[in-house]
Amino acid sequence: MPNTIPGLLIEAAERDADGIWIRTDDGALSFGQTAAAVARIGQRLTQLGVRPRDLVVVTTRTTPEYLLTWLAVVSMGAILVPTDPESAAGELVGLARQVSPRVIISDVTLIPSLTVNGLAALASLGVLDVNELVGNWLEPMAGGTLMVSTPSADDLAILIPTSGTTGKSKLVMQTHRAYAMAGEGFPYWMELTSDDRLMTSLPLFHVNAPAYSMLGSLACGAGFVLLPRFSASGFLDSARRHGATEFNAIGAMLEILMRQPIRADDADTPLRLCYTGPSPAREWQEAFEERFGLKVVCGYAMSESPYGLIWRHGTRPFGTLGWPRQHPTMGEINYARVVLDDGAQASVGDVGELLLQNPTLTPGYWEMPDETAAVLVDGWLHTGDLVTTNLDGSYTFVSRKKEVIRRRGKNLSPAEVEDALLTHPGVLECAVVAVPSELTEDEVKAFIVFTPGERPSFDELRQWANSRLSEFKLPRFWEAIDDLPRTPTARIAKHRLPAGHTPDEYDSAPLHSAPLHGQSPEATSAANENEV
């Protein structure tokens, strides 16, 4: 099997040159046409002075032009640094200074800003317009020679920014082997064939859409439906229009779909599968599957290793992340263990950190040896995620290790509190964090985004949570917020929430004392009729 990204593309084109791969509302490309277009773009980059192992920053939108550029950069042996096109100018400048790219590839909507903020001067070849580079993607070079797979399996293909700051971001180094193995594995884990069509609206600057949907569809010869963005109101219609049978969901996507107005034809789509993680509650998942007429497969992975955990074929271990993912032909190559703080092996039911060992582990963080040494120890990746091991050998997610809140001498998981609050119909989204206590350890605070048209009091929400959680897990402080800040991959960015205690928070102390700063629950929730 191919062990590089261009190897997957070449094999797909040779296997079914005329089969349609990329599908959009503007047009489609076959596997063969895609390979020819990628070869042409790679040749243009070479002519412009880009060489193997050069770093190329790309402000990666979810469009055919950027997808073809993504493939061309890595296929010619250069190293792609995909970044969120909505990053602040300071973030992009910080990233460019960190990696000293050979070239920056963007588009006409961003290039003026990049030039004004001095980004062009940070790349030796300046800034290229992706549309000029690609040309008319619907008229690819006919009969072009497929690009020769110059990179090797262990060559770097991608640097994945895990955060955007004006300082140094952690850039996860990933190899061709890791992405090729992810592409080969995904159809096997999800039981996909060439008859399927994988639909994505997820960003191409992270790991999910490229490694699973894009390369997974190449590996099994399936179609690849590319949506420019996630639109809850139009998502099902897009699936009908393109005949999509599978999609991946991250963040709040499934909850947002579930909160759309119910339609009689919600289940009348070709969709049959969805991949997501972590696992939702069983009752909620079964309601989602019933409404939309599909099955949800749950799993776990990260930029540092696309081989994490997933539900095994024929199993439905609700609420769990499943078992270690394995390769379809290589046998057992992925191992997991759970360790306590002292490094001892955790017993069944004990909460500990998940460790992974497999051929897709990151070599580390770009030019950050100390950070790399902290997560890669004796060949094991320390994920930073806390889980429990179940009797059947599956794993259940508890929380991020760094998010555990210590309160009243006990540890609590913010995720558990958030799950309880999200069962209330008046809570659209929420985030639970630690805040300083006047005593010792931490206090618990919940940021709430209300469901449009709903305004439950914070005391009501506390009582609701109290019927589902132990007393020590209940938030004391509450604050209404219009929207939760998010990372580029749609996960909640808790580090960007208001820190500590704020004038707008409500203190629901045991005696239900008056709100801090004289603020009532009604006042704090008055401006929260936001729409999804």
pLDDT in tens, 371-425: 999 999 999 999 999 999 999 999 999 888 877 787 866 778 888 899 899 999 9
Strand 246-248 vs strand 273-276: parallel, antiparallel, or unpaired?
parallel
User: Which residues, listed in sequence order, are joined to residue 429 by a DSSP beta bridge?
Assistant: 449
DSSP character string of 91-113: HHHHHHHHH--SEEEE-TTTHHH
> In this predicted structure, what is the pLDDT of residue 51?
95
Distance CA 400, CA 495 (A): 13
Closest CA to 244 of 211, 275, 269, 217: 269
Using omega within 30 degrees of 0 as the cis cutoff, is the peptide bond preceding 278 cis?
Answer: yes
Looking at residue 440, its pLDDT comes to 56
Helix, strand or coil for residue 47? helix
The radius of gyration of the chain from alpha carbons, rounded to an integer in Å, stands at 24
Enumerate the domain spans of the chain.
404-524
Question: What parts of the chain have a pLDDT lower than 50?
Answer: 143, 164-167, 511-532
Range list of H helices, 252-404: 253-258, 282-292, 369-375
pLDDT score at 514: 35
Quick one: pLDDT at residue 486? 81
Q: How many CB atoms lie within 10 A of CB 145?
A: 11
Two structure tokens written together for 525: 């929730």
CATH architecture of 404-524: 2-Layer Sandwich (3.30)
Token couple for 381: 């990746």
Q: So what's the pLDDT on residue 147?
A: 59
> What span, in angstroms and rounded, lies between the C-alpha atoms of 244 and 20?
13
Give pTM, 2 decimals: 0.82
How many other CB atoms sit within 10 Å of the CB of residue 414?
24
Q: How far apart are CA 267 and CA 289, in angstroms?
A: 9
